[in-house]
Structure 1
């Protein structure tokens, strides 16, 4: 026998002996009575229960203790302590969206995009490296109503303090360097060229222009090819001084922080901002003339965009309209629109509706794309479905299903610090009560079929629709008859 084989058999013998010893110990171990706990016993593993145990009740959700105060400079603060993770999320929301552009379309968006492009002694690369070196994240964006800047960082003082210092510098004292301004303008102008090849975007631009006329919501947040090139650094500085003031800001803060920590952070951010009051919200828009318009575009598909003025964010019918829209077209599969347009007739890959409630009346919109030669029939079908829903409202079964779905998904709205800080920012910006989240779900669950029908009828009119189509002008075909057997759908999103 070789030395190698001898070693192999020797190791095998040791393993067999050890296995025998373990078996003897196991079979000779005295039984422990099941009703006698022992100090050394491990904790019981969590038991996975059936969803049936919920008995159609809403799952538990996170209770928020929302604290609020105002800084010395006038910023409104909303804070939730969340010690579960050693981090924090900070978000500032300013009434500094494109509705504040005035005659310079794109000014608000460009100002926001330039915030982190330079501060005294640091260019865009140094700012990015500063946040990255601390494990922190900076975010920003501008929309029609608001502009946002956010910071996520570890909450330990050694990371929190330098991250907050850099954030306040970026937010309170941007230098708007000329080279960055030229680069970002070129990126925006390149985006305008890309839009020319996107019929959905062309339809959206035409729709908002028709829906809002001379109102600030009419123009796109990114501005236009004519307005952006002429925006100067001095205009950015003036807009920042006017719109990024403490009095025009809401500070939302969630994380592993004490109340004293949160107050100190909010005060520090607020003091770094320019001094000034809040800006007034945009005026209410005028009701537009209804009817269709068409954007000619060479494609196989036609984009349909159907809209009318909806509600502002504080409208008392918000909950009823939200719930009604979940039944009609906002809840994905199972809605009236998806069932009738996609599943029974196979006319589209997806069709959706929704209310975009803003500071002033936002749009109610339905959008989809369908075969160009069936676009007229599809449009008429959607108008008929909307008219029927306004007249009759949802069925009791549809309403119950929508309520159950909303109750089941609602905990996700507070499932993470990022989700909570988003809710706080919205509540502060639109001046909603601190009990809003609880109030909203209670209102939804208490609504009746008749209340939802009445709310939809108050705010929607199938004869007052603004309609924009984008696609080719082709001979139209009749729609296929509805079928209770689902029609096979395409495997991907259809191309233009």
Structure 2
């Protein structure tokens, strides 16, 4: 479910640093440990007076209590809406006056924070971040304002084909697992949330034991070490998270929703692969060839270029903590939805049974290794990558290893993982559109 984020004050160019990178290897990462034992990964760059910090706590929307879906998302939206002696208006004014951008967000597995500041105001920025993380107010007015914003988005999503199809897909494939819960919750659950709920969830999710930090910019290791204790030292030592069950899949079903729209939205998915799986890089290369490579992928070529069935189609790996998925989506003319599904099924079958050519493999690896540096052209991207590496336990040397791992993928590796992921079960399809259209999808998905 997609809900518009509250706009925060930003500085033009904040997040851009003088990191003229030609490769990921140009990023030198330091492991910094504060006197209090808080660890962060740091990339120094003193060419521009800016600092970017990303951080994350384990425990996202999957930690919402039963019947209180949307609670962690509301927590993220209200954590910077007043803290300590500062009301919401005063806190936001302080950020704007100091050209500081501070925001929070949540995914399914993690609770995220981002800080962007000028060097001259970084002490104030760290102070305000610490205040938000230790003394949030959860005053009635900003909480109600955020709830109203989310409720508007939830109601709107009930008429959005993508939101409806996505929810149908996840529930069909994963049953009642917390990953199927919408991050913003339901209209009923969001409306019932209270400030007391937020305080209780804050105590459960925020703890130093799961904290991961990435910092990029105009700050040295000694200064950062002191700032880490200043910013995060007063947090509880441990969080109080519930265990999240491993994913159990029920693939092969076709689920549909009726909506009188000119295009039919189609999602499809299969059980995937986790990030620590030894086959992950091979699966990543395979997915690029199948549907992740935009203009060069099999699905793009067959569905759009040859048949004109859509403006765009793609697939991606979703390696959650509790299990992985391979997910794809396409929007097509309602009267050609069945044909679109037939083509998708054929490409999945072809990849599982035949796999790509050596030439396609070489081209995919060349693109994936050559484009990797684009992930490091801003401080914001680098800081986010530093946190992602820590969350995935990939190691501080992953930037140096990654392209070598991609280069090492062989054609046999790709064919093996394609058969493993695409040949073991039938895909789940979810379609939303007019009745004749979704019935055509049902027929095509069943091979009829």
TM-score higher than 0.5 here? Answer: yes
Compared CA separation, residues 428 and 398, structure 1 to 2 (3 A): same
Q: Which runs of 4+ in 1 moved over 3 A?
A: 58-62, 69-76, 277-281, 475-479
Spell out the pairing of 1:352-431 with structure 2 (5 A cutoff).
352-431=314-393
Residue 387 (structure 1) shift: 0.8
Instruction: Find out whether 1:146 has 2:117 as its counterpart.
Output: no
Q: Which residue of 2 is the match for residue 244 of structure 1?
A: 206
Q: Does the Cα contact within 8 Å between 1:319 and 1:440 map onto a contact in 2? A: no
Instruction: Provide the C-alpha distance between the structure 2 equivalents of 1:389 and 1:354, rounded to a whole number of angstroms.
Output: 15
Instruction: Provide the C-alpha distance between the structure 1 equivalents of 2:55 and 2:205, rounded to a whole number of angstroms.
Output: 12
Aligned length: 420
Q: Whose Rg is larger?
A: 1
Instruction: Find out whether 1:115 has 2:115 as its counterpart.
Output: no
Instruction: Find out whether 1:134 has 2:98 as its counterpart.
Output: yes
Residue 334 (structure 1) shift: 1.6
| Correspondent of 2:434 among 443, 468, 472 | 472
Select between 265-274 and 299-308 the one with higher mean Cα deviation: 265-274
| Correspondent of 2:28 among 59, 65, 70 | 65
Select between 217-226 and 59-68 the one with higher mean Cα deviation: 59-68
Instruction: Provide the C-alpha distance between the structure 2 equivalents of 1:467 and 1:244, rounded to a whole number of angstroms.
Output: 37
Secondary structure class of the residue paired with 1:68 = strand
Structure 1 gaps, min length 5: 1-57, 480-496
Residue 332 (structure 1) shift: 0.8
Spell out the pairing of 1:3-402 with structure 2 (5 A cutoff).
60-71=23-34, 75-103=38-66, 104-156=68-120, 159-277=121-239, 279=241, 282-402=244-364
Instruction: Provide the C-alpha distance between the structure 1 equivalents of 2:69 and 2:341, rounded to a whole number of angstroms.
Output: 32
Compared CA separation, residues 467 and 73, structure 1 to 2 (3 A): farther
Residue 337 (structure 1) shift: 0.5
Structure 2 gaps, min length 5: 1-20, 442-448
Residue 289 (structure 1) shift: 4.1
Instruction: Provide the C-alpha distance between the structure 1 equivalents of 2:109 and 2:44, rounded to a whole number of angstroms.
Output: 28
Indicate the RMSD between aligned Cα atoms, in angstroms.
2.1
Compared CA separation, residues 330 and 79, structure 1 to 2 (3 A): same
Instruction: Provide the C-alpha distance between the structure 2 equivalents of 1:403 and 1:226, rounded to a whole number of angstroms.
Output: 47
Q: Does the Cα contact within 8 Å between 1:390 and 1:456 map onto a contact in 2? A: yes
Residue 211 (structure 1) shift: 1.8
Compared CA separation, residues 234 and 303, structure 1 to 2 (3 A): same
Residue 459 (structure 1) shift: 2.4
Compared CA separation, residues 478 and 262, structure 1 to 2 (3 A): closer
Secondary structure class of the residue paired with 1:117 = coil
Compared CA separation, residues 478 and 470, structure 1 to 2 (3 A): closer
Residue 375 (structure 1) shift: 1.0
